[in-house]
Amino acid sequence: MALNKQQLVAEVAKRAGIKKLDAEKAINATIAAISDELAKGGKVTLVGFGTFSVIEKKERTGINPRDPKKTIKIPARKAAKFKPGKTLRDKVNVNTGGKKKGKK
């Protein structure tokens, strides 16, 4: 299951015991504050939840999707990154039995 913004607003309103309009204002303000800080190149840490930051991606060469025999230059850019905190990681992995998937 995935939550869209309106479902998130409803869930926050229910859990906080506030009106949906107030929950939407709070969510919008949170998103704006995080976005503004990232746009300035900063980072936002929410202890237990995670850290939002900006990373620099270097210019690289890729394969042209229209003609796989040709290469294209992909320009350098900045990208938003999220690193989950320990509390969130533990909650997400509560039923995995401690087994890690992927890298060995």
Specify the CATH number for the domain of residue 18.
4.10.520.10
CB 42 within 8 A of CB 81: no
Render pLDDT for 7-65 as a digit per residue (tens, 0 to 9).
Answer: 999 999 999 999 999 999 999 999 999 999 999 999 999 999 999 999 999 999 999 99
Place of tokens 């900006």: 54
For the chain, what is the domain count? 1
80 in helix, strand or coil?
strand
**CA 2/CA 28 separation, integer angstroms:** 19
Q: What is the pLDDT of residue 99?
A: 58
- Predicted local confidence at residue 95, as pLDDT: 77
**In this structure, is residue 103 part of a structural domain?**
no
pTM of the shown model = 0.78
Q: Domain span at residue 31? A: 5-92
| pLDDT of amino acid 1 | 74
pLDDT digits (tens, 9 = 90+) for 57-88: 999 999 999 999 999 999 999 999 999 999 99
- Rounded to whole angstroms, the Cα distance separating 17 from 79 reads 35
